[in-house]
Structure 1
Amino acid sequence: MDSTSKRKSDHVRICSEKMVEVKNITTGFENVHLIHRCLPEVEFEKLDLSVEFLGFRFKAPMIISAMTGGMAEAAKINANLAKAAEELGIGMCLGSGRACLENPSCTYSFKIARENAKHIFISANIGFQELLTYPYGELKKLVEMVEADALTIHLNPLHEFLQHDGTRIFRGVLNKLRELKSRVEFPIIVKEVGSGICREDAELLASAGVDALEASGAGGTSWAGVEYYRSMEAGDWERAELSKTFWDWGIPTAISILEVRTAVDIPLVASGGIRSGLDVAKALVLGADLAGLALPLLKPAMESWESVLKLLKKICGELKLAMVLTGSERIEDLKRKPYILTGFVREWATFRKLKVRV
């Protein structure tokens, strides 16, 4: 197994076996309060969860966020995720395609998603380090190889720094994004991986021409936590301590949504600690267009596509109840509902002068 495939295998194993979520920080959704309507004036059976994202119709405002690919066990995981997404009519982002770029024989573990989901939106995915080092033609070829509709580029400076084989070169990403956008026809999405996107960076990314953002904030999986376990297994105590120090680093998801929406109006996915349909509802009310989930779906995806579908349907049911209780028949109705901020989220929003709808 090559180093990239081994790293991906380590990530799946650790995320499925260890406690990898944040410890002393939250998404901030507990500080977001929706207004209960005792006269909702809606019919449950007529609720419409459908939305449009980058020209694609989703039957519910959710996307399966990037997880894995490039090693043997990834094929089963991606097939199960894709089958469930197809059944529910939602989107999916593949795991990092670096393994494909390094070894085309790994392509099947990614392409299997399209084989099991002919009609949904699927995004390929690479890291910013591949953006900096691979020719644009290779990135375009990756999208074609896995039969994707878009390309997601993940920004993960903390994770890269903590990996013993990660990069420490973080300069030149914006220029590369501008150039890539001018050379391809498919949409470009830029996402974080658990540390969130601030207002300043959202403005810069939008100015580079990206089509959408995924503000994957703090509150869910800690990739510093994942690297803590990898470093401990490798006997790298110094790196393990560094990872432990930054375990809870990042902008909470609820706040990151407000940060991005204060700066730009391009399509936005909220992820990072989304665990229920109520979390989805709050993310949408704050300004997101979709909510993304990854870690909660990993173990179900290692079992069967039916297990994935069961959890996703549960979340959709919770979202529907949140819509009823706020008097919202459509997702667009929900997104216009008022909300109250309290606690740390309110303090942050006030100090940063973020746009808040009342």
Structure 2
Amino acid sequence: MTKTPEDAKSVANRKVEHIRAIERDADIERAQSGFDQIRLTHRALPEIDLDAVDTKTGFLGKSLTLPLLISSMTGGSDEEIIRINRNLAEAAEEVGVALAVGSQRVMFADEKARESFELRKHAPTIPVLGNIGAVQLVQPGKRLTPEQCAQAIDILKADGLYLHLNPLQEAVQPEGDRNFGNLSEAIANVATHLDVPVLLKEVGAGLSSADIVLGYNAGIRHFDVAGRGGTSWSRIEYHRRTQDGDDLGLIFQDWGLTTVECLQDARDILAQKPEATTLIASGGIRNGIDMAKAMILGADLCGIASPFLAPAKVSAAEVVKTIRKFEREFRTAMFLLGCEGLSSLQGNTSLIRPRMT
């Protein structure tokens, strides 16, 4: 597939426009993930040593210091974007957490964008995930092939590939790709052809039970629910509207399933499946308490993006500070729940207080 220079410029500019929208509109952060509705049981006698709390876990065959994935944000040829991804990679490597890059579609439109994804030299040991928009697998005339997906993996030396689902964003985006017909079949085809695991991910409106079932039947065993409540990509695309009267992005800015709803649905579905699966919670996780709640609801890992964007513009050291903040909050929550390790936290819904009626 050959892209014209105009196509490359359009895709590259879009990445910068997304960042600028986030900078100028605080209401893109929706703060409606559902975690604030969950109350946990405090232990005045936790019977453990805070310093002995163990947050280590594994992901895709590699060790992590805590169940954290710096989730997908950006990629492109702009110097700011290249610096952001480098700082994220260096920080993730220093602390020992996982990293996922933003959509790699841009690297097929703009050769210079590849630099923003050449991150293994900055993060040689941690799990790193590539990222392709699933809808690009079925677009007439501009379809990404399994071979191109393999290229996206190769440039990162990635441990896995996100196929992200974003029907709401595409519906609102002025130049959006809106044909999602027979997409699960295309996903199954890619999953069969690649040498690394394929992970299915939403981008802020959530995976439903039906989506989980379709994905599982397509051969997917790793799911990132990416529920409603954090960054609203619908509202971001509203800022890129081409007609003044177009308010579709605002009307749908809170569309979707909350992260809590997604986790509850996914846990019930995946618990019935015979093969091992991985469940990633993302969408509005904004502190270590949210992380603890997500793990209690059955998540294996917590994906967080927005809180790392501003630090990543500054330096890797600032990103490390933010990761350490999440780590301290998460560790403290585990201590106050009497959980010395993740095995006593994950899926332990007895830690949730019943609702008062």
Normalising by the residue count of structure 2, what TM-score does the alignment of the two structures yield?
Answer: 0.91
Partners of 1:196 and 1:290 in 2: CA distance: 16
Partners of 1:85 and 1:22 in 2: CA distance: 23
1:247 to 232, 244, 253: 253
RMSD: 1.6
Q: CA deviation at 1:250?
A: 1.1
1:93 to 90, 100, 105: 100
Query: SS of 2:39's equivalent?
Result: strand
Partners of 1:200 and 1:129 in 2: CA distance: 18
Gaps spanning 5+ residues in structure 2: where? 1-7, 272-276
Q: CA deviation at 1:20?
A: 4.2
Aligned length: 338
Counterpart mapping for 1:286-325 below 5 A? 286-325=297-336
Q: CA deviation at 1:70?
A: 1.1
268-277 or 133-142, larger mean C-alpha shift = 133-142
Query: Percent of aligned positions with the same letter in both sequences?
Result: 36
60-69 or 331-340, larger mean C-alpha shift = 331-340
2:167 match: 157
Higher helix share: 1
1:166 match: 176
49-58 or 118-127, larger mean C-alpha shift = 49-58
CA contact (8 A) 1:50 1:58 kept: yes
2:114 match: 107
Q: Does 1:229 align with 2:239?
A: yes
1:198 to 187, 196, 208: 208
Q: CA deviation at 1:177?
A: 1.3
Partners of 2:151 and 2:250 in 1: CA distance: 38
Counterpart mapping for 1:1-358 below 5 A? 2-23=9-30, 26-72=32-78, 73-111=80-118, 113-132=119-138, 133-231=143-241, 234=242, 236-239=243-246, 241-265=247-271, 266-337=277-348, 338=350, 339-340=352-353, 342=355
Letter in 2 for 1:7: R
Q: Deviations over 1:95-124 (max 9, x none)?
A: 00001122333111111x222111100000
Q: CA deviation at 1:18?
A: 1.8
Partners of 1:223 and 1:110 in 2: CA distance: 22
Q: Deviations over 1:105-162 (max 9, x none)?
A: 3111111x22211110000001012222112111111110222111101000000011
2:274 match: none
Query: SS of 1:332's equivalent?
Result: helix
Q: Deviations over 1:186-212 (max 9, x none)?
A: 010010000011111111111111130
Partners of 1:82 and 1:38 in 2: CA distance: 39
2:4 match: none
Consecutive aligned runs of 4 or more in structure 1 exceeding 6 Å deviation: none
Partners of 2:27 and 2:161 in 1: CA distance: 27
CA contact (8 A) 2:297 2:347 kept: no
Q: CA deviation at 1:89?
A: 0.3
Partners of 2:169 and 2:354 in 1: CA distance: 30
Cα distance change, pair 218–37 in 1 and its aligned pair in 2 (3 A): same
Query: SS of 1:34's equivalent?
Result: coil
Letter in 1 for 2:205: S
Partners of 1:114 and 1:238 in 2: CA distance: 45
Letter in 2 for 1:244: L
Partners of 1:270 and 1:198 in 2: CA distance: 13
Query: SS of 1:114's equivalent?
Result: coil
Q: Deviations over 1:302-342 (max 9, x none)?
A: 01111111111011101111111111111111114311354
Letter in 2 for 1:319: F
Q: CA deviation at 1:56?
A: 2.1
Partners of 1:285 and 1:116 in 2: CA distance: 32
Query: SS of 2:333's equivalent?
Result: helix
